[in-house]
Amino acid sequence: MKFDDFCELISKIENIPLPAEPSQLKMSPPFREALQERQKHMIKDAKRAGVMALFYPNNEQTYLVLILRKTYKGVHSAQVGFPGGKLEESDESIEAAAVRETFEEIGVPEDYIQVLRKLTQVYIPPSNFFVQPFIGISRTTPYFIKQEDEVEDILEVTLLDFINDMNVVDKTVSTSYKKDVVVPAFNLNGHIVWGATAMMLSEIKDLLKQVM
């Protein structure tokens, strides 16, 4: 889809109800409820993070940017996610944190990012974070610069690939909770995207389909 057409359509999302948790749960790992129950005593102390689902033009077509995280000793090692990160004391808001981290992780200047809407918050049991996603657009094609110590690769996904139902799959993965479990996932640019990121993508996809 041409980016100009996308911008005209996406302007309508501000005034329609969010698909919210029912949409997210379609892509929830089967063990999520049990894992959340197991550490419910920790939720009150959960940290906060903001992430950005950033759409932008590339050769007039519409793209969404994701990142592949570095391999490290942590629960989100080598996983695909949105640019974003934890709320810092210097941040004025969780939205400001998402915008700042998008600049730090992939080099998109903060004044390029127009935040369109806050989405439904997701709790991530393995890391004990509440993650607040936002939809944003950059009307200028970004020149991406990855944060070398955190980002392994930048994934540029076409809008048409993202909304294609054929790219929703079931995949066997090994997790911090259980090995070799089948989870719902997106297959995007040859990468399997599952867990909280897939849950957030599901809400974005269902929201976009209401106006497309």
Structural domains in the chain plus CATH codes: 3-163+195-207 (3.90.79.10)
188 neighbors 80 (Cβ within 8 angstroms): yes
Closest to 64 in 3D by CA, of 73, 74, 50, 51: 51
Structure tokens at 83: 């640019």
- The DSSP secondary structure of 76-139, one letter per residue, reads TTT-EE-SEEE--TT-SSHHHHHHHHHHHHH---GGGEEEEEE---EEETTTTEEEEEEEEEES
pTM: 0.93
80 neighbors 197 (Cβ within 8 angstroms): yes
Per-residue tens of pLDDT for the chain, all 212 residues: 999 999 999 989 988 999 999 999 999 988 777 777 777 777 888 899 999 999 999 999 999 999 999 876 555 457 899 999 999 999 999 999 999 999 999 999 999 999 999 999 999 888 889 999 999 999 999 999 999 999 999 999 999 999 999 999 999 887 665 678 899 999 999 999 999 999 999 999 999 999 98
